[in-house]
Chains A and B, each alone.
Chain A
Amino acid sequence: MRGYEVLFAGNNFLRLLGGLWVTIRISLISIGISLVLGVLLGAAMTVRNRAVRAICKIYLEVVRIMPQLVWLFIVFFGITRSTGINLSGEAAAMIVFTIWGTAEMGDLVRGAFISIPKHQYESGLALGLGKAQLYGYVIIPQTIRRLTPNIINLSTRMIKTTALVSLIGVTEVLKVGKQIIDANRYDAPDAALWVYAAIFFMYFIICFPLSVFSKKLSDKFR
């Protein structure tokens, strides 16, 4: 059998798409929760209280310093063993990606907030805007504009990094690909190239429009 035939043999392609769906599911859920928690974290990082800011900062640094793979191992193997809670690989993956995504998202939100110049607040106040009006019409719209391209970039990074979860036994698209290649090792030795190329295009099709969109937005908002 030729390599490219393996791609469409039996239900192989459907299985790949199934794996892709797992990738998307983990990404979407973690990105969604990270977005909400990240806004809260970002807001917490701009408060006056030093203790609150310090705690947020420590959280951010700890999450950033450790490779995502180590986090996956800690949560999936470590926590499961030590607490006896039986987490599925997918649940562990979502937890880790949410912890990571929240940290990064929080930092983006904080950055966007403090990047709004002081005179924007003062001009709004001087016009007689109330606090809610000031934030609603002036500050938050500008924050969102600065934030959106960065959030999309972070999302594509998170989608790509989900490839790691195959290492804790989640059969996402990469793992499915590996299974297909292994199963056809003898009758189609060059399947690897074709299967991985197909996976490459799958990632590309998801991430490329996002990164084009983000570039468009940041050009528009500049």
Chain B
Amino acid sequence: MNEDIVIEVKGLKKVFGENVIINGIDLTVRKGETVVLIGPSGCGKSTLLRCLNGLEPIQGGSVFLHGEPVEYGKRSLNKIRQKIGMVFQDYGLFPHMTVLDNVMLAPLKVQKRPKDEVKTEAMALLERVGLGDKAKSYPSQLSGGQQQRAAIVRSLVVNPDIMLLDEITAALDPEMVHEVLNVVLDLAKNGSTMIIVTHEMAFAEAVADRVILMDGGVIVEENPPQKFFHDADTERAKKFLSTFSYSK
């Protein structure tokens, strides 16, 4: 087995009643790689992310994290999820805890690390994303962008092997999008392994090592960003990209 492979997806299939959401996807993500998933709404990209950490039951194929199977509903899932950081569109911070307590919950209760150590690391990470002075605030006292940065820190503090970012700026004002994406760019530069679902094309081009276009539950095109955004192989990709540019 290749040590470098973090996540491996083989023939993944996901069906909701009559609807086939994901229809046979193979995907390999290596250590330090940033993969960006794009595609029209309902193409299955968010569902794919959710399958990767077992939030959805799957109807075919398999997902491996470092060679270990990710299986929905299994007890082993808790262990695996500790190695996967996931950030959602609607932040998902716990409103009854301060930012610092949100960040410290998983390392303290799940990983059972010593409190002093966790606190030092949590504060350092919060400082790094510009939230050092917000540690004692409650999520409702923060702007959307600040909440999302806190949510990123919360996923980061457990030192995950891979981060899954599911349209994390879709609910934010344009100015806040920028501050959040800068944090993500910073992570990519520092070698984090990530799979990012986004509709921000400029960001996708800047952050990605590889861009994947999904449509109708399958991968349509997979290329490095330079190639994908300026000289796409498929007509589908060109058509999709054209919806982001305007001319009079």
Contact = CB atoms under 8 A, between A and B. Distances in A.
Interface stretch (A20-28, A128-136, A210-218): A128-136
Given A119-B88, A122-B88, A130 B78 contact: yes
A141 interface: yes
B55 A137 contact: no
A120 B94 contact: yes
Given A120-B92, A141-B96, A126 B110 contact: no
B45 interface: no
B86 A126 contact: yes
A125 B72 CA distance: 12
A141 to B, nearest CB: 5
A126 B84 contact: yes
B154 interface: yes
B106 interface: yes
Interface in A109-139: 117, 119-120, 122-130, 133, 137-138
Contacts of A80: none
Contacts, number: 63
A129 to B, nearest CB: 6
A126 B55 contact: yes
B14 to A, nearest CB: 16
A123 B110 contact: no
A126 B90 contact: no
Contacts of B110: 127-130, 133
Interface in B44-92: 53, 55, 78-79, 81-82, 84-86, 88, 90, 92
A129 B84 contact: no
Contacts of A150: none
Contacts of B85: 126
B45 to A, nearest CB: 17
A129 B109 contact: yes
Contacts of B79: 128
A119 B78 contact: no
B40 interface: no
B95 interface: yes
B123 interface: no
B158 interface: yes
Contacts of A46: none
A221 B93 CA distance: 15
Given A127-B106, A129-B109, A142 B78 contact: no
A137 B105 contact: yes
Interface string A56-87: 00000000000000000000000000000000
A30 B133 CA distance: 47
Most buried by A among B79, B105, B155, B158: B105
B77 to A, nearest CB: 8
B92 A128 contact: no
A127 B84 CA distance: 8
Nearest to A133: B109
A88 B78 CA distance: 55
B94 A138 contact: yes
A87 to B, nearest CB: 43
Contacts of B86: 123, 126
Interface string B136-179: 00001000000000010011001000000000000000000000
A145 interface: yes
Given A133-B110, A137-B105, A128 B94 contact: no
Contacts of B154: 127
Interface of A: 117, 119-120, 122-130, 133, 137-138, 141-142, 145, 221-222
10 contacts: A119-B88, A119-B90, A125-B55, A127-B105, A127-B155, A128-B111, A129-B105, A133-B110, A137-B105, A137-B109
